[in-house]
Amino acid sequence: AQSVTQLGSHVSVSEGALVLLRCNYSSSVPPYLFWYVQYPNQGLQLLLKYTSAATLVKGINGFEAEFKKSETSFHLTKPSAHMSDAAEYFCAVASEGGYQKVTFGTGTKLQVIP
């Protein structure tokens, strides 16, 4: 069984401030981990993914995430928030054996304050 917990359904940051969105996972096998972004009335766009290679993963739009096995975490960060980063972010996990079957977290809505 696999699951994802996203801490904080809403996060507000000032423009230019650090963005930190938290994600903890549970998986009985080595996981694949993903962060997706969803803009209003749009589908999901993959930001980045971890697939057992480097633990620090760099994605699009300046985002990155670090896989920490000891903490079962995969937090998403961006050094400096931009207004266009306002969206909903989903952390997701898939098992290596069935990587296509993805379990999503409940999402974190990021608000960027000018």
Q: Which residues bind another protein (CB under 8 A)?
A: 9, 32, 36, 41-46, 49, 51, 90, 99-107
Of the pair 17, 44, the CB lying nearest another protein is at 44
| Minimum distance, C-beta of residue 98 to another protein, in the bound complex (Å) | 10
Output the CA torsion sign for 109, 20, 7, 97.
positive
Of the pair 40, 114, the CB lying nearest another protein is at 40
| Minimum distance, C-beta of residue 38 to another protein, in the bound complex (Å) | 9
Outline where DSSP puts E strands in the chain.
2-7, 10-14, 19-27, 31-38, 44-50, 56-58, 64-68, 73-78, 87-95, 103-104, 108-113
Of the pair 17, 59, the CB lying nearest another protein is at 59
